[in-house]
Structure 1
């Protein structure tokens, strides 16, 4: 398929995990893909940036437009997570999580909007099921992802009439390299892998490529009547009640 022929996409955090799968899928369908993250990316045209500094967002967008002449797709995927109880978390850690997961996506959308308006472009934000529920010690992460979901709806309301659609995906447990390595290093990794599968009605965890398929569909013209939505992709986990 060439759904993105002659289109330009920016994927933040596109060097690894879900972001890499999204970038690869967009490229396979014809897009010119830029990624933005700390350091280099050998696969794509890369922009090195510190997402804890939201003021850098305009530079990222300007760089893409200067090099490619346009912007059609913005995927806000970069994110961080820190574990701590509210009373244990420092203000610096809280602010860093909010900056990377929420404020920088806002700043990128703000800087990108004139260019997306010109191309009738699309925005896809990578949220989380933790924007809908919570795991222990994830206060800052949950707050940032819930905020990103809310931002998604607000941007859609304000700009869909101008031709710019905005949606989000909320992944559950996805087998990124980081998660796979985490399980591998557990004392009883096989038992944990089986146990983590049982919390999903489909009987397994998800893959980055499955998330990428949803993101790319939302960014494509096939989803032209879809905006302001948060699409849960979690193998049914959030729909499953605990045993009575």
Structure 2
């Protein structure tokens, strides 16, 4: 076990599955205490003497405040916040209702704002901290039907820069990770639901110059660095982690 995050206290929203689980696992391996904040309990195997769960509906400001306060009271402070939890649906601008839009912005953009707002005073009292927002390559481009999702992730990228500028004086850094395709139970279910899933998997691999799809630990590895003192001169940045997908120009043949 390494100790780059030894004695650090972290909150990871949605830390019990997918990308969040990769972040939680790597943080614990590096010595941090992690509080998973999400609606449903994570798998029992994830919980131990340094990994805890606080149930919260991130559409409710009361639940968000409760999660941050529980963490601070239980562990004496807060050093790291990872705004990872989010939702996604596929609808064009004409198909998207006002209620759809509001739901996306509430979970993907407003919740990170409220979590950050509530975490900053506690980080300031510790002499600083690291905020890591999970954006997306869809904050830089978009897949069809991802109007609201792309807008929310572009907002996260802008939010990241603004927090970095405002809170740098407090020793608080803020960066974002923009993942590409990351394997998870949800992505597997989605691919398996398609008519020709085998072809989709082959074409997905072709899209990635590294020759594989991403894993939750790929994001967790970068999150560890951004949370640690090794990245002490890094703030306001958006790191694309996509296996080179967004750098590969499309051709009629592969």
TM bucket normalised to smaller: over 0.9
Q: TM-score, normalised by structure 2?
A: 0.93
* Displacement of 1:182: 2.0
Note if contact 1:55-1:107 (Cα within 8 Å) is conserved in structure 2: no
Name the SS for the 2:53 alignment partner.
strand
Deviation at 1:55, TM superposition (A): 4.5
Aligned partners of 2:35 and 2:53 also within 8 Å: yes
Q: Is it true that 1:104 corresponds to 2:111 in the alignment?
A: yes
What are the superposed Cα offsets for residues 5-62 of structure 1, whole Å, 9 maximum, x if unpaired? 1110100001100101101111111111100001223323111111122443222211
Who is 1:78 aligned against? Answer: 85
Match of 1:147 in 2: 155
Does 1:233 pair with 2:244? no
The alignment's TM-score, normalised by the length of structure 1, stands at 0.96
Q: 1:60 aligns with which of 29, 52, 67?
A: 67
**Which stretch of the first structure deviates more once superposed, 218-227 or 49-58?**
49-58
Residue aligning to 1:114: 121
More off after superposition, 186-195 vs 221-230 = 186-195
**Counterpart in the other structure of 2:214:** 206
Kept in 1, the 8 Å contact 2:132–2:227? The answer is yes
* 1:16 aligns to 2:23 (yes or no): no
Hey, what's the Cα distance between the residues in 2 that align with 1:77 and 1:134? 19
Give the superposition deviation at 1:212: 0.7
Counterparts of 2:148 and 2:54, CA distance in 1: 26
Taking the aligned partners of 1:52 and 1:16, their CA distance within structure 2 comes to: 19
User: Structure 1: any 5+ residue segments left out of the alignment?
Assistant: none
SS in 1 for 2:174: strand
Cα distance between partner residues in 2 of 1:230 and 1:185: 32
Alpha-carbon RMSD across the aligned residues, in angstroms, is 1.3
